[in-house]
Structure 1
Amino acid sequence: MAAGQAIDTDPKKALEHARAARGRGARVAAVREATGLAAYHAGEWAEALSELRAARRISGDPSHIAVMADCERALGRPERALKAIEDPVVPKLEPSIRAELIIVVAGARRDLNQLDAALATFERGGLDTKNPKPGSARLWYAYADALVAAGRTQEAIQWFGAAAKADYDDETDAADRAADLL
């Protein structure tokens, strides 16, 4: 609990608490998950990846697959992040988790200077503006950002606009980005 309370304000302190819990309950999936997430927020990518893998092995829960793939990117291994999209659980993931995974995998493609492949990742991932799902705002925002990088400004404006409409929690600055491009 202490790790969860501190994770947003003091990630290093949260990680200390999580490590202490791991010392007492290393075989508990929730403890390993908490340690992995605290390590992720503290920028300890290798530890985060190791802990989240352990949590998944113990529980079978794939819900942090996007975070794990992002750790691979942070460790300079974008090609490993790409493999996450091939995991057999991907079609069964909750929409918000799947959206995050698509964002990470497309980001890995951009890390590899494969902008066209990044755009294709988004396009295969579900860009239906008539049927927004949890995570759609962030997904559409990331797609719009990739469109800007590709020089497709008019399309980017439309997707930033769609992201702004779907962004009920103000997670993005999509409206501002669209306005800046006009």
Structure 2
Amino acid sequence: MPEPRLPDEVTGKELDRGVHQQLRTLSKENAEGVARHLVMVSVFLEADEVETALAHAETAVRRAGRVPAAREALGMVAYRMGDFGRALTEFRTVRRLSGSSHLLPLMVDCERGLGRHTRALELAASPEAKELGDAERIELAIVVSGVRRDLGQLDAALLALQVPALKRGRKAGVHRLQYAYADTLLALGRTDEAREWFLRVVEGDADGETDAVERLEELDGVALTDLGDGEDEVELAGEPPVADEPRA
């Protein structure tokens, strides 16, 4: 099959050392080509051009089907596309090839996406889950909480988020955990507590990854009206907008 074009400026050296170690099982020429395609997967996923990312990921797998990084890239693209069955297959292959369970939170989320909530919870409670690092434990807690919410079990959803990292505001990914916690509190009708946790999210989410600021504005009754010229007008809920003064 024809392979997607590779820009000359992409060398493959952009990948981290761990991926290059995996590619050492290939010939030098093939390893360089696969590395460049893996870089392009990341580039196009970042640009939200998933079809092009898929073409590069499939090419990488055709050329290096037993390299975990290639299978993981294809799984990530499928996951982004909502093709949870294919993503789960690729993630399982990565685990088999590498012996690592770092993709377990995504595997649980794939089971959730396929509507298999019981299997998702069983996988989340498997022995491999206890071997996860801090970042993966945070992601797993968020996914399990989502499964519980799907099942209408809001109290259990809140409990799933009460992991040790919840109150560690400086750890990577904690603001997403805190956001899920605040959102679940709000769903339970515990508005004051939710507001406190949304405030924590705002303090920790330096890159604006969440919409915690907007959620706080909603709770405080602040609405933004788009004026159409790049500016916003602030209105307080329950108060009529101030009318323009009549022109002379």
TM-score between the two structures when normalised by the length of structure 1: 0.91
1:32-72 Cα distance to aligned partner (Å, 9 max, x none)? 11111111112211101100110011112222211111111
Say which is worse superposed, 169-178 or 31-40, in terms of deviation: 169-178
Q: Deviations over 1:86-126 (max 9, x none)?
A: 23343442322211110000000011111111011112x23
Query: How far apart, CA to CA, are the structure 1 residues paired with 2:169 and 2:81?
Result: 35
Unaligned runs of 5+ in 1: none
Equivalent in the alignment of 2:192:
154
Taking only the aligned residue pairs, the percentage that are identical comes to 44
What is the aligned partner in structure 2 of residue 139 from structure 1?
Answer: 177
Distance 1:158 1:71 in 2: 31
TM-score, reference length from structure 2: 0.68
Equivalent position of 1:86 in the other structure: 125
| Residue deviations 1:111-149 (CA, integer Å, cap 9, x gap) | 1111111011112x2354355421110000001111111
Size of the aligned set, in residue pairs, is 181
The 2-side partners of 1:131 and 1:138 are apart by 10
Aligned pair partner of 1:56 in 95, 107, 115: 95
Residue pair 2:78, 2:87 contacting (<8 A) in 1 also = yes
Q: How does 1:122-137 map to 2 (within 5 A)?
A: 122-123=161-162, 125-126=163-164, 128-129=166-167, 132-137=170-175
**Which of 44, 51, 72 pairs up with 1:12?**
51
Q: Which ranges of 4 or more aligned residues in structure 1 deviate by more than 4 Å?
A: none
Equivalent residue for 1:121, pick from 160, 170, 175 = 160
CA contact (8 A) 1:36 1:51 kept: yes
The answer to whether the Cα contact below 8 Å between 2:42 and 2:53 also exists between their aligned partners in 1 is: yes
Aligned: 1:68 with 2:107: yes
Q: 2:210 aligns with which of 148, 152, 172?
A: 172
Q: Which has the higher contact order (CA 8 A, sep 6+)?
A: 1
Amino acid across the alignment from 1:42: M
Secondary structure in structure 2 of the residue aligned to 1:120: helix
Flag structure 2 segments of 5+ consecutive residues without an equivalent. Answer: 1-37, 221-248
Which is greater in Rg?
2
Taking the aligned partners of 1:109 and 1:164, their CA distance within structure 2 comes to: 25
CA distance in 1, matches of 2:53, 2:168: 40
Corresponding residue of 1:40: 79
102 and 133 in structure 1: CA distance in 2 versus 1, 3 angstrom threshold: same
Could you tell me which amino acid in structure 2 is paired with residue 20 of structure 1? Answer: T
